[in-house]
C-alpha cells in the first residue's frame, strides 16, 4: 500500500506551538490528498504508534516532558512508558520493521559543524544506511556541515537524487554546491527507478531531494550569519548532544523573525505532498 511514514520530533522539538500542530495535520492531509496513507510515528505512554491520531499529536505538540528519541534511547522510553517523539533515525527503524518504504521529513540530521572536535554526527545518517527507505526531504538542515554530510552520505552508500534539482538543497536555502547523483524531472521516472531498486534488493536508503518552495527560500548568506550567532550562543550555554539541533533551530527562528520557521513549515508540507504523489505512483 502507498503508506508514507512521518516523523514526530519535528512536532515536539523542531517547531513551536501552534505551528507544530498545523504542520502535523497539513502533512497528513498533503499525503492523503494524493491518495496515499499517512502514518505519523511516535510513542505514547511507552507504546509505539504508527499513525498518530489528533489526541496523540496534541500530546507530542504541547507536553513539556516529551522525549526526543533516536535509535540509542527509544528502548528506554518504551521501558519507562514515556511520551516520546521519534527522529528520522528511529522513525525509519520502526517503519522498516513494518515494511513501510516511504518517509517524508523536512531536513535530515547530519554531520555537525565542528564535528572534528565534538564527534557529533546524527544517527540519521547511519539509520538511512541500515535500512532501505525512500526519503523525501530538503537535504540536511542548514545548521550542519553540509559538505561533510554530503560526503558521508556517499560513503554510507545512500543514493542522493534530485527532484527537479541538480544540487543538494540546503534546507532553508535552495541549493548547496553539491551535485546530486542524478536529477529526475518527473515522478513516474522516480517510481521506475525506485521499483528497480526494490527489485535489486538495494539495502540502503535513497534520498529524494525537494527544494524549499521558492517564495519561502532564504539566502545562504543571511542564514550563515544567523547560524554563527546561534552557534556562539550554544557554546556559551554549553548546549550539546540531542539538545543542540532544537536549540539552534529555535534561536535562528528568533534571529530571522520567523522567516526560517515559515520556510521550515512550507518545506515539510511540500515534502509530504511529493511523498504522497511518489508513493501513490509507485504502487499503481
Ligand atoms: N527536520 C526539521 N526539524 C527537526 C528535525 C528534522 O525540519 O527538528 C529533527 C529530525 O527528527 C531529525 C533530528 O532526525 O532533528 C536530528 O537530530 P540530531 O541532530 O540530534 O540527530
Ligand atoms: Mn547529535
**Which H helix or E strand runs over 103?**
strand 102-104
**Which of 68, 105, 121 to probe ligand 1 with, by most ligand atoms within 8 A of CB?**
105
Give the C-alpha separation, 210 to 165, whole Å: 7
Q: Is 141 a catalytic residue?
A: yes
Ligand 1 contacts (CB < 6 A) are: 7, 9-10, 13-14, 70, 87-89, 105-107, 109, 122-124, 242, 245, 264, 268
Peptide bond into 18 cis (omega under 30): yes
Q: Which has the closest alpha carbon to 279: 20, 10, 52, 6?
A: 6
Give the C-alpha separation, 33 to 41, whole Å: 19
Residue 241: nearest ligand to its CA? 2
Phi, psi dihedrals of residue 182, rounded to the nearest 5°:
-165, 150
pLDDT digits (tens, 9 = 90+) for 181-215: 999 999 999 999 999 999 999 999 999 999 999 99
Rounded distance from Cα 245 to ligand 2 centre (Å) = 7
Please pick, among 7, 130, 175, 251, the residue that the annotation labels catalytic. 7
**pLDDT at residue 157, as a whole number:** 98
pLDDT digits (tens, 9 = 90+) for 3-56: 999 999 999 999 999 999 999 999 999 999 999 999 999 999 999 999 999 999
CB 17 within 8 A of CB 61: yes
Task: Give the atom of ligand 1 at the shortest distance from the alpha carbon of 89.
Answer: 14
257: confidence class by pLDDT, cuts 50, 70, 90: very high
User: Which residue's C-alpha cell is 548568506?
Assistant: 221
pLDDT digits (tens, 9 = 90+) for 76-108: 999 999 999 999 999 999 999 999 999 999 999
**pLDDT at residue 149, as a whole number:** 98
Pull the grid cell for residue 237.
550555554
Pull the grid cell for residue 149.
554530510
Q: Which has the closest alpha carbon to 163: 143, 125, 134?
A: 134
Rounded distance from Cα 284 to ligand 1 centre (Å) = 31
pTM, to two decimals: 0.97
Mean pLDDT across 242-253 = 96
Please pick, among 68, 101, 130, 141, the residue that the annotation labels catalytic. 141
Give the C-alpha separation, 6 to 197, whole Å: 22
Q: Could you tell me if residue 114 is left (phi over 0), alpha (psi between -120 and 50 degrees) or otherwise beta? A: left
pLDDT digits (tens, 9 = 90+) for 167-180: 999 999 999 999 99
Q: Is 47 a catalytic residue?
A: no
Amino acid at each position: 500500500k502507498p503508506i508514507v511514514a512521518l516523523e514526530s520530533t519535528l512536532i515536539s522539538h523542531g517547531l513551536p506551538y501552534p505551528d507544530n500542530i498545523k504542520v502535523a495535520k497539513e502533512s497528513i492531509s498533503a499525503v492523503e490528498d494524493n491518495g496515499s496513507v499517512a502514518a505519523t510515528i511516535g510513542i505514547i505512554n511507552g507504546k509505539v504508534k504508527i499513525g498518530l491520531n489528533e489526541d496523540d499529536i496534541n500530546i507530542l505538540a504541547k507536553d513539556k516532558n516529551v522525549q526526543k528519541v533516536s535509535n540509542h534511547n527509544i528502548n528506554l522510553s518504551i521501558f519507562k512508558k514515556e511520551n516520546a517523539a521519534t527522529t528520522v533515525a528511529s522513525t525509519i527503524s520502526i517503519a522498516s520493521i513494518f515494511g513501510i518504504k516511504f518517509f517524508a521529513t523536512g531536513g535530515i540530521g547530519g554531520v555537525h559543524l565542528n564535528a572534528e572536535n565534538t564527534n557529533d554526527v546524527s544517527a540519521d545518517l547511519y539509520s538511512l544506511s541500515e535500512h532501505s527507505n525512500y526519503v523525501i526531504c530538503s537535504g540536511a538542515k542548514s545548521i550542519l556541515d553540509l559538505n561533510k554530510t554530503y560526503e558521508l552520505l556517499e560513503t554510507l552508500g545512500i543514493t542522493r537524487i534530485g527532484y527537479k534539482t541538480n544540487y543538494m538543497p540546503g534546507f532553508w536555502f535552495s541549493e548547496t554546491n553539491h551535485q546530486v547523483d542524478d536529477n529526475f524531472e518527473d515522478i513516474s521516472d522516480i517510481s521506475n527507478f525506485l521499483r528497480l531498486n526494490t527489485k535489486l534488493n538495494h539495502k540502503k536508503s535513497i534520498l529524494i531531494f525537494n527544494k524549499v518552495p521558492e517564495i519561502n527560500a532564504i539566502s545562504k548568506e543571511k542564514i550563515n550569519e544567523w547560524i554563527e550567532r546561534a552557534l556562539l550562543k550554544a557554546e556559551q550555554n554549553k548546549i550539546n548532544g540531542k539538545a543542540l539541533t532544537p536549540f539552534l533551530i529555535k534561536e535562528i527562528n528568533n534571529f530571522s523573525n520567523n522567516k526560517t520557521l515559515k520556510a521550515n513549515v512550507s518545506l515539510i508540507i511540500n515534502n509530504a505532498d511529493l511523498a504522497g504523489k511518489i508513493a501513490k505512483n509507485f504502487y499503481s
